[in-house]
Amino acid sequence: MSINQMSCSTVLFFICYFKPMTIFWVAFLLLVIGMLALDLGVFHKEDKIISVKEAFLWTGIWISVSLIFSIGIFFIYHYQDAALGAEKVLEYLTAYVVEKSLSLDNIFVMAAIFSFFKVPKKYQHRVLFWGILGAIVLRGIFIFAGTALIVKFSWLMYVFGVLLIVSAIKMGISKEDHDEDLSKNFAVKIAKKFYRVTPTFHGHAFTVIIDGVRHITPLLLALIVIETSDVMFAVDSIPAVFSVTLDPFIVFTSNIMAILGLRSLYFALSAMLGKFVYLKYALVFILAFVGVKMIIVHYVHIPTLLSLSVILLSITISILASFLKGKEIEQ
């Protein structure tokens, strides 16, 4: 038997032995691992300040990869049912836009965290890399647990819908506090109970050994706060995606693809965060919209394409209104 024949036999064995979706899950996880390895191990191997130009370039690359992946989504589901391909692509794109939109609020929090801990710009990418890695694991757990619970207890859709509406109201009436004392974060307090904290940074190290004793650096504290804040954001964003679909593969892939590009989006927009004065109201509207959609899901069907259009329109209007407001102030 030739090497080519052996290779074909191996592929056929895996296709026959494992369910097709299992293969797609493994392939996606390998794709994510490969992209992360290239990101930190090749393109950002050395600590450096990410320029706005480079950040926009990487943002374009991550969005392009996400859109290209939607083609894979089409063939994955078209292979199972010819009518499913286009429907699942629309679900994936809508879920991706929902997660991407809500993650914009996360950028404001990241900027506040880096400012509080005075993290040098050249180390921020490394912190966000490990933060995203942790977010992937945590969101995977949330998605599988949430999907399983909703499938078993359908009334949870109403609970999640109410929670999203409450989150929208809280976001709408809350005042932005960029001077919050993050040293009082419960996770930071726990870390300080077990380890001493160095007063200064030690390069990009999260921990160092001083006089034979393991210390943690302010860089690790910043990472801890970013991870805990992402948990809070996931409580809103994941139920919001459930309003689009309960397919765990679509929910997980759209969620991960959206947050993979969050780092470059942060560096692209961090310098102009103050200009998006009306973005908050768009996010409030999106949370309220998907919350209502989840509450009426068993009574009124809102087409996925309509949901996608409403979300894109609200973000577009908020950005245009923000720029117009900025021009008025300049004049």
Lowest-pLDDT choice from 58-62, 80-84, 170-174, 327-331: 327-331
Contact status, residue 107 vs residue 273, Cβ threshold 8 Å: yes
What is the predicted pLDDT for the residue at 257? 92
Mean of the per-residue pLDDT values for the chain?
82
* Residues 6+ away with beta carbon under 8 Å from 182: 112, 113, 116, 117, 188, 225
Contact status, residue 250 vs residue 73, Cβ threshold 8 Å: yes
* Residues 6+ away with beta carbon under 8 Å from 68: none
Contact status, residue 209 vs residue 242, Cβ threshold 8 Å: no
The H or E element containing residue 259 is helix 248-260
Question: What digits encode the pLDDT tens for the residues 21-68?
Answer: 788 888 888 888 888 887 766 666 677 777 888 888 888 999 999 999
Q: Tokens for 139?
A: 């969101």
Question: What digits encode the pLDDT tens for the residues 105-164?
Answer: 788 788 888 888 888 888 888 888 888 888 888 888 888 888 888 888 888 888 888 988
| Angle in degrees, 0-180, between the axes of helices 20-38 and 3-17, rounded to the nearest 10 | 110
Domain boundaries of the chain, sorted by first residue: 46-330
The H or E element containing residue 216 is strand 213-216
Percentage of the chain beyond pLDDT 70 is 87
| Angle in degrees, 0-180, between the axes of helices 262-269 and 84-116, rounded to the nearest 10 | 50
Instruction: Please give the Cα distance from 48 to 207 (Å, whole number).
Output: 20
Lowest-pLDDT choice from 78-87, 145-154, 175-184, 250-259: 175-184
Could you tell me the pLDDT band of residue 327, with boundaries at 50, 70 and 90? low
When pLDDT is averaged across residues 221-235 and rounded to a whole number, the result is 85
* Residues 6+ away with beta carbon under 8 Å from 102: 233, 236, 237, 240, 283, 286, 287
